[in-house]
Each structure stands twice: as C-alpha cells, then as structure tokens.
Amino acid sequence: MHQRIVNTITNIEIVIYMILMIVLTFVTLFSLYELIAIVSYDLFYDETPFLLETMGILSFFEFFLLILIGLELMDTIKSFIETKKIEVGIVIILAIIAVSRKIIVIDPATATEFELIGIGAIIFSLTVGYYFIKKADFLRAEN
C-alpha cells in the first residue's frame, strides 16, 4: 500500500513536470517569435531604428537572455524527468544567466554601490560554486 501511494505521487509529479515543460516551451517559443518580430520591425520598417541606440541594444540583450533562461529551465526540467535528480550545475548556470541579465539592464546612474557589490559577490559565489561542482564531477569521473 505504501509503495502504491509513492508511485501515485511520483506519477503526479511527472505529469506536473510535463505540463510545466509544455507551457514553458510555448512561452519560450512565443518569446523567440516576439524577439524576431521586434528586431525585424525595428530594422526594416522603423525610420529611426531603436536597436541602433544603446537602450535598444540593452533591451535586445535583456530579451535574449530571458529566452536563454527559459531554455535552461527547460533543460533543468528535462534532466529531472530523465534522471529524477536535479542537476545543481544547470541550476547554477541558470542563476548566473539571471544575474548577468540583471547586470546588463541595470542603470549605473541609479544603482547604489552596495547593489553593485552585492551583485558582484553573487556572481563570484555562483562561479566558485560552479567551479567546485565541475571539479567534483571531474574527480568522480576519474575514480
């Protein structure tokens, strides 16, 4: 009886992950479509292209990195469905991309020194963590 309940809960989790994967796929595809539409319109139809200005380039990178975050989330969910384990390396890469996105769109004129130091500390911590995870994977593979 106990094993049957655990199996039922596991099956429900898998269904939820599959639904999340489908929704995330649609959102990521729609975001990619929007990015292509915005860039196409701006470059081919707008008389004064916004993308050629600094803020336009930053907006493009913000949107681009948002799509990368969606792809990394999809990879995380796919990996969990296949292995039943959360890959910490993928989660750290996702966090690094998210923080990098924040750095790209931050306005240095309004950001305080503490915010910038905090973001730097987060990136340093994530990078060191990723390094140690990869080093542990490498050492485990050697044994």
38 — pLDDT class (breaks 50, 70, 90) = confident
Q: Between 2-44 and 54-83, two packed helices, what is the crossing angle to 10 degrees?
A: 160
The answer, as to whether pTM is greater than 0.85, is no
Asked if residue 50 has pLDDT above 70, the reply is no
Distance CA 121, CA 130 (A): 14
Asked whether 76 and 91 are in contact (CB, 8 A), the reply is yes
3-class DSSP state for residue 56?
A: helix
pLDDT in tens, 71-89: 888 888 888 888 888 788 8
pLDDT in tens, 117-138: 998 899 999 999 999 998 988 8
Looking at residue 54, its pLDDT comes to 66
